[in-house]
Structure 1
Amino acid sequence: MKKSILTALGLVVLAGGILTACSEEKASTEKKEEATPAEQKDVSNKPKEDENGNVTFTEVGQTTKDDDGTKAELMKIKTVNQTVDIAPVKLTVKDMKVIQLTNIGSDWEELLIQYTDGKKLPKELNYIQIQYTAENLEEKNIGWNGIEKIVTNTGEQLDASNGDIIWEENGFDGTFYGKTKHEGIIGVLTKSNPKDLNSLKFIITSSFDPDSYEDITTPQQTEFKF
């Protein structure tokens, strides 16, 4: 469940009906219309969860908790689905989210404090989560290190390479093998108030020849708004 938060309930049933009443006089001359069941829908703010317990937030306000009580809440979300060309890499930013952690348990505190100034964690801890796909369109292996920096409109320069709090089993090790595709996710802590985050600028590393280390495509920069 810990992985699911770094990747982070009620149920309201709406029911209604229209009943048509007839006066005694009309009832004697007109056929009564029987009431029919009204359309009912379940409305839930619970995030999606797969068979492995991984949670996906889709709407602002959705929350989840792990076993030690750490709560995650989605504060902002933007579906992007835009592509950046770092030939021969095609990088597609799928979405951007801002997630807030509260009531942080001891296990999480021990992990997250390594990504802060080493002091006690605040009561509310926010992080930016980026979901993306990257594809090497050529047969040849290349060197590529993904998204390096994230710059916020609030003036923060966040280290996405070394400050990523989300562990990926199949993350990049600097080599992007030919004709392969990678589904990636990044999480970086931010000191900004979520309501003040209006845009994010991405600094994306160059693609290079892993033998000569010569650049194929220079570093790229792109910006997306919430």
Structure 2
Amino acid sequence: MKKYGVLIFALLLCFTLSACGNSSSNANSKEQEKDMSAAESKSSADKSNNNNEGEQTERKTLEKVGDSLYDSNTGTVTLNSLKDISNKKLTIGDLNLKFIDAKVITVTDISDSFKEDLEQSFGVRPKEFTYAQIRYKTENTGKDDISWRGFRKAVTSEGQQVDLDFNLSLGIPNPSSIDMMPNSKMEENMVWVPVNKGEKSIRLKGEDVLKKDNSKKDFIVYGKEIKIDL
């Protein structure tokens, strides 16, 4: 799964009819409206049937604990827990991080391609894979260009340190290196952390923040860590 993402399907139909003139044209207009209505009803019915037939492959979000779906790129994914962590913030120099939510997800019936990805990253082909998915936003509140390398390490509640570089090979949007202009934001960032199903918390280590102008006194602000409840 080199490129993993969330697919959102939106269909919008808009019909506008206008009629004017004598009674004959009104009759034609009504007939047209009748035909259009029948066509729209058929379209809606076809769409409903297609949605029912392809529900497992088209639905790409896990919103409630216990939700499960099949993704051909990974396997069967199940949401074990979901926590709102919007009260969590981390500041490293001019970089402000605002967290959104934390999901613990288990993948079973793992696809061959995802098994290969996991083997390349961890040296094993597991029967199932559980990870915490942490979403967050970044903002440069300063007047200088800065760069940041995201979250590179995590520590579980049992003290096990985890290398997060595998996010790069899986295509997860945890920055390998981002340059942010002054007073700018990036809304969608995410990091995966391998955990046990019953994991209650992890510690994330944010990397150093560097200013483009290395003559500045505060050219480098060393990274910090934050505890995230799951």
TM-score range, shorter chain: 0.5 to 0.7
SS at match of 1:131: strand
Aligned residue pairs, count: 173
Segments ≥4 residues shifted beyond 3 Å:
168-172, 213-216
CA deviations on 1:112-160 (whole Å, 9 max, x unpaired) are 221112x3x2211111211000011124211211222111102221222
**Contact 1:171-1:184 within 8 A present in 2 as well:** yes
Once structures 1 and 2 are overlaid, which stretch shifts more, 80-89 or 215-224? 215-224
Identity of aligned residues (%): 25
Q: Structure 1 or 2: larger strand share? A: 1
Change (3 A) 1:147 1:67: closer
Structure 2 letter corresponding to 1:98: V
Structure 1 letter corresponding to 2:166: G
Partner of 2:131: 127
Where structure 2 has 5 or more consecutive residues not aligned to the other structure, the ranges are 7-57
Change (3 A) 1:166 1:54: farther
SS at match of 2:192: strand
> Of the candidates 132, 135, 156, which is equivalent to residue 152 of structure 1?
156
Alignment of 1:87-102 (within 5 A): 87-102=93-108
Structure 2 letter corresponding to 1:84: L
Partner of 1:42: none
Structure 2: how far apart are the matches of 1:151 and 1:215? Answer: 28
> Of the candidates 114, 118, 122, which is equivalent to residue 112 of structure 1?
118
**Contact 1:4-1:54 within 8 A present in 2 as well:** no
Partner of 2:69: 64
How far has the Cα of 1:65 moved from its partner?
A: 0.5
Structure 1: how far apart are the matches of 2:184 and 2:59? Answer: 24
Alignment of 1:2-21 (within 5 A): 3-4=4-5
How far has the Cα of 1:223 moved from its partner?
A: 0.9
Q: CA RMSD in A?
A: 2.6
Structure 2: how far apart are the matches of 1:151 and 1:71? Answer: 26
Structure 1: how far apart are the matches of 2:177 and 2:213? Answer: 15
Q: TM-score with structure 2 length normalisation? A: 0.66
Structure 1: how far apart are the matches of 2:225 and 2:119? Answer: 30
**Residue 175 (str. 1) matches residue 201 (str. 2):** no
Structure 1: how far apart are the matches of 2:61 and 2:181? Answer: 28
**Residue 224 (str. 1) matches residue 228 (str. 2):** yes
Structure 2: how far apart are the matches of 1:163 and 1:57? Answer: 22
Partner of 1:198: 200
Structure 1 letter corresponding to 2:200: N
How far has the Cα of 1:185 moved from its partner?
A: 0.9
**Contact 2:174-2:191 within 8 A present in 1 as well:** no
